[in-house]
A and B are shown apart, each in its own frame.
Chain A
Amino acid sequence: GAVVSQHPSWVICKSGTSVKIECRSLDFQATTMFWYRQFPKQSLMLMATSNEGSKATYEQGVEKDKFLINHASLTLSTLTVTSAHPEDSSFYICSARPPGRQTYNEQFFGPGTRLTVL
C-alpha cells in the first residue's frame, strides 16, 4: 500500500517552455502532498505543500508564479514549471501523506522527475 507515482520520469525541454509534472497517489487519498527539489549532491529541499482544494503553501525563496501547483483531486497534484530556464534543471520529487499519518507527517514518495532545460 501507499504507492505514489510520478510522471514523467524524465523530461528535456527548451528554455522558455513550460513543463507539467504529475504526482498521483495510487491506492489512497491524500489531502496533502509535497513537492521537493534536489540539486546534485544536495539534500531534498521542500518547495511547497499542496493541499487539496486550496492554495499551496510555498517555502521561502520558491516563486509561486514560476512553480504552479494544482491539487485538484485527492489523488493528483501537479507541478508546472513555467518559462523554464537552465537553472531550473533539477530532480523534482513529490510525496503524499495518507490519512491518519498527520501526527508525525509520514510521507510516501514518488520516484521523481529529472528535468533538463536546454
Chain B
Amino acid sequence: ILNVEQSPQSLHVQEGDSTNFTCSFPSSNFYALHWYRWETAKSPEALFVMTLNGDEKKKGRISATLNTKEGYSYLYIKGSQPEDSATYLCASGNNRLAFGKGNQVVVIP
C-alpha cells in the first residue's frame, strides 16, 4: 500500500484569499495522481487526474501541479469562496488507489 500524505490536515482561509496545500506520494513506480473534492454528505467529486511530470491542470479557480520526480502535487485555490469549503483528497496508484487523509478547507466569509 502506497503511503500518501497530505498537509496541512486542516486550514482556515479568509474569503477572497488564495491558498494551497500539498500531497506527497512515493515517486518510484508513479502511475497517476488523482484529486477529489469532498463536501460533507456528498460524493467525492473528481477534480483532476494527473500523469505527467510538470503537469498543470485547472478547473475554474482551482489548479494543480505535479512533480513526479520528487513525489508531490500542489492544489491551489485562487480567491477562495465559501463554496470551496470541503475536504480535498488526493490518491495515487495504478490498479489500487491509495488515499491521503485529506486537506480540510474552511473558507471564512
Q: Which residues of A come within 8 Å of B, CB atoms?
A: 2, 4, 9, 34, 36, 41-46, 49, 59, 93, 104-112
Distance between Cα atoms of A45 and B101 in the complex (Å): 10
Q: Which residues of B come within 8 Å of A, CB atoms?
A: 4, 31-32, 34, 36, 41-44, 46, 49, 51, 89, 91, 93-102
Chain A interface mostly helix, strand, loop or mixed? Answer: loop
Which partner residue on chain B sits nearest A106 by CB separation?
A: B49
* Cβ-defined contact, B46 with A106, below 8 A: yes
Distance between Cα atoms of A42 and B51 in the complex (Å): 25
Number of A-B contacts (CB under 8 A): 50
In the complex, which residues of chain A have a beta carbon less than 8 angstroms from the beta carbon of B4? 43
In the complex, which residues of chain A have a beta carbon less than 8 angstroms from the beta carbon of B94? 105
* Cβ-defined contact, A106 with B101, below 8 A: no
Distance between Cα atoms of A110 and B36 in the complex (Å): 13
* Cβ-defined contact, A111 with B42, below 8 A: yes
Q: List 23 A-B contacts (CB under 8 A).
A: A4-B43, A9-B41, A34-B97, A36-B99, A41-B101, A43-B99, A43-B101, A43-B102, A45-B99, A46-B96, A49-B95, A49-B96, A59-B96, A104-B31, A104-B34, A105-B94, A105-B97, A106-B34, A107-B34, A107-B46, A108-B43, A108-B46, A110-B43
Q: How near does chain B come to A96, taking the closest CB pair, in angstroms?
A: 11
Distance between Cα atoms of A112 and B98 in the complex (Å): 18
Which partner residue on chain B sits nearest A94 by CB separation?
A: B43
In the complex, which residues of chain A have a beta carbon less than 8 angstroms from the beta carbon of B99? 36, 43-45
In the complex, which residues of chain B have a beta carbon less than 8 angstroms from the beta carbon of A43? 4, 98-102
* Cβ-defined contact, A44 with B46, below 8 A: no
Distance between Cα atoms of A2 and B36 in the complex (Å): 14
Distance between Cα atoms of A112 and B97 in the complex (Å): 17
Which partner residue on chain B sits nearest A5 by CB separation?
A: B43
* Cβ-defined contact, B36 with A109, below 8 A: yes
